Amino acid sequence: MLKVLLLFLLLIAGIVLGPVLAGHQGYVLIQTNSWNIETSITALGIILALLILALFAIEWLLRRLLHTGSRTRGWFVGRKRRRASKQTNLALIKLAEGDYQQVEKLLSKNADHAEQPVVNYLLAAEAAQQRGDDIRANQHLARACEMSSGDPIPVEITRVRLQLARNENHAARHGVDRLLEVAPRHPEVLRLAEQAYIRTGAWSSLLDILHSMEKAQVGDEAHRAALEQQAWIGLMDQARADQGSEGLKAWWKNQSRKTRQQPALQVAMAEHLIECDDSETAQQIILDGLKREYNDSLAMLIPRLQTTNPEQIEKALRQLIKTHGDRPLLWSTLGQMLMKHAEWREASFAFRAALKQRPDAYDYAWLADTLDKLKQPEEAAAMRHDGLLLTLKNNPGS
């Protein structure tokens, strides 16, 4: 616009001043060592105007040539981008089909020109891993690492995922530890951490991330509760493996009261102690737990105890029956404890009380044994018959 205005002003100046200068053109001499140039002012003005026009023409020509070059380069680059986009879309279809060889080939062929090159290389790495080609997977991962200057988290997540797929569990654990430092509530990082910690037995670390899993809504409440119990049992196993029953008891003593009062952990701890042939400590944990809060799982462990103080257990069971009502499990457990000490008549009363509330094949069998001891073979045979019918009813295909 400015150039057009300038030319317009020059044209007006020529129209106005031309006639005035027509009779007074003046004289111009340009002299050098080898030649002289003589002309009028008007001719010089015309030459300068033509020179400017020539420069404008040259500028326009160069601009067109350069613009054509950039357009040509843009066309080639755009063609590669279109091809990369087409191949990426086709790769997603092949991914749905499970053709991982084609997925890797299509994603990596023009990945540098794709809209998201890092994503292409990461997906290609996972496709190669699905084929079992660790070398190609590492190559794609390295290329993605080179191109991901801003956000390394997707690359590191993929690296850990590949390590877990190869069962490189300790390397994966090291990777998730680093990821948790920079992204402690990233859902996928937490999911990978869960896998790595379980595989490597890092139970304390698993307990540490449960709160973050809750905040990030990773898994439901039941899943997190199961993980917590699994972690505690894992810690029990480690304590028992390292120092035996004494180490297990010392570990339990060092836990908080809140932890020691969880029924699921009391059950697990009592089972560990029973397996260590420490029924005395297991009995104390079971009875304390039942006294605080009744739990069927704790009560079911009582018959497994090799106790030297059966009176305490029998007294506790009778108190529980009195407190919590006629629960068939409590009556059955009491009957089993009485059988161990040859109190046949009391045991038979307990089993009858349990069977009165619900039929159970085991209680029928135990009652029949007590009746045999009480010299009542006919009724014992009737109980075994009833127990057999119940078993056949509950297992019709056996």
Share of the chain above pLDDT 70, in %: 78
Q: Which two tokens stand for residue 263?
A: 């029924």
- pLDDT of 21 > 70? The answer is no
Centre a 10 Å sphere on the Cβ of residue 379 and count the other Cβ atoms it contains.
14
Q: Higher-confidence residue: 148 or 328?
A: 328
Could you tell me which residues are beta bridge partners of residue 39? 28
pLDDT score, position 42: 62
Model confidence band, residue 99 (pLDDT cutoffs 50, 70, 90): confident
Q: How confident is the model at residue 10 (pLDDT cuts 50, 70, 90)?
A: low
Check whether 110 has a pLDDT greater than 50. yes
- Among 110-119, 158-167, 229-238, 253-262, the minimum mean pLDDT is found in 110-119
Burial letters for 151-189: b for 16+ Cβ neighbours within 10 Å, e otherwise? ebeebbbbbbbbbbeeebbeebbebbeebbeeeeebebb
Report the pLDDT value the prediction gives residue 26, as an integer from 0 to 100: 60
Looking at residue 57, its pLDDT comes to 76
Q: What is the mean pLDDT of residues 258-276?
A: 91
More confident residue, 112 or 315: 315
Binned at pLDDT 50, 70 and 90, residue 309 comes out as confident
> Is the per-residue pLDDT at 79 higher than 80?
no
> Residue 84 pLDDT more than 80?
no
d(CA 2, CA 150): 44
What domains sit in the chain, N to C, each tagged with a CATH number? 262-302 (no CATH), 309-398 (1.25.40.10)
- Per-residue pLDDT, averaged over 50-64, amounts to 74
The residue among 82 and 342 whose pLDDT is bigger is 342
Task: Classify residue 84 by burial, with Cβ atoms within 10 Å: 0-12, 13-18, 19+.
Answer: buried
The region that residue 342 occupies, defined by phi over 0 for left and psi between -120 and 50 for alpha, beta otherwise, is: left
**How many Å apart are CA 284 and CA 101, to the nearest integer?**
61
pLDDT of 210 over the 70 cut: yes
Rounded average pLDDT over 280-309: 89
- Say whether pLDDT at 261 is over 60: yes
Q: Is residue 307 pLDDT above 80, yes or no?
A: no
**Mean per-residue pLDDT, 277-301:** 91
Per-residue confidence (pLDDT) for residue 23, from 0 to 100: 56
pLDDT higher than 90, residue 14: no
What is the 3-class SS of the chain, one letter each residue? Answer: CHHHHHHHHHHHHHHHHHHHHHCCCCCEEEECCCCEEEECHHHHHHHHHHHHHHHHHHHHHHHHHHHHHHHHHHHHHHHHHHHHHHHHHHHHHHHHHCCHHHHHHHHHHCHHHCCCHHHHHHHHHHHHHHCCCHHHHHHHHHHHHHHCCCCCHHHHHHHHHHHHHCCCHHHHHHHHHHHHHHCCCCHHHHHHHHHHHHHHCCHHHHHHHHHHHHHCCCCCHHHHHHHHHHHHHHHHHHHHHHHHHHHHHHHHHCCCHHHHCCHHHHHHHHHHHHHCCCHHHHHHHHHHHHHHCCCHHHHCCHHHCCCCCHHHHHHHHHHHHHHHCCCHHHHHHHHHHHHHCCCHHHHHHHHHHHHHHCCCHHHHHHHHHHHHHCCCHHHHHHHHHHHHHHHHHHCCCC
Distance CA 102, CA 299 (A): 59
pLDDT grade for 265, boundaries at 50, 70 and 90: very high
CB neighbour burial string for 275-298, b if at least 16 within 10 angstroms, e if fewer: ebebbebbbebbbebbeeebbeeb
Over residues 336-351, the mean pLDDT reads 91
User: What's the mean pLDDT in 314-342?
Assistant: 89
171, 168, 238: which is closest to 203 by C-alpha?
A: 238
- Top pLDDT among 323 and 85 is at 323
Q: Does 234 have pLDDT greater than 70?
A: yes
Report whether pLDDT(77) > 50.
Answer: no
- Reported as a single tens digit per residue, the pLDDT across 134-193 is 888 888 888 888 877 767 888 899 899 999 999 999 999 999 999 999 999 999 999 999
pLDDT at residue 16 in the model: 46
The average confidence (pLDDT) of the chain is 82
Q: How far apart are CA 270 and CA 282, in angstroms?
A: 5
Is residue 305 scored above 60 in pLDDT? Answer: yes
The two tokens of residue 231 are 């972690």
Cα separation, 368 vs 362, in Å, equals 10
